[in-house]
Each structure stands twice: as structure tokens, then as C-alpha cells.
Amino acid sequence: LNLEQQQSLSYAPSRLDAIRGIFDLPRLKTLLADLELQSADPSLWDDPAQAQKILQRAARLREMINPFE
């Protein structure tokens, strides 16, 4: 292996951990469930900016999860 290939391989474990974190479907589902509970709270719209963030985050998580279900 040349130096570039060796360096690339040395970064592989940390890259794989990052990818696992992004595609950890059970964790994403748990996060979505939590956001859905928050969005069901009647006081959600007391803070419209925070409500919008919660709903947008939930929508992004659904987009990530749905192709795998």
C-alpha cells in the first residue's frame, strides 16, 4: 500500500462510526417519536419559532426514515 492508501485506511473506522450514527435507524425513530410527542403538546405554539424547528426536524427525520420502511 502506498502512503495515501494507508492514510485512507487509518481514517476508515472513524468514518464508519460517523456513517453508523447517521443511519442508526432505531435512534432516528426514537428521536422522531420524541419530536412527535413534543408536537402533540398543546403548548407547542406558545413559542412559534421553537414549534417550527420541532416540526421541521420531525419532517427531516421522516424523510430519512421512510425509504427504509
CB 61 within 8 A of CB 28: yes
Q: What backbone phi and psi angles, to 5 degrees, belong to 61?
A: -65, -40
Q: What is the pTM of this model?
A: 0.67
The per-residue pLDDT for 69 is: 77
Instruction: Compute CA 27 distance to the chain's CA centroid, rounded to the nearest angstrom.
Output: 8
| pLDDT mean by block of 10 residues, the chain; 69 residues | 74 64 84 96 95 96 86
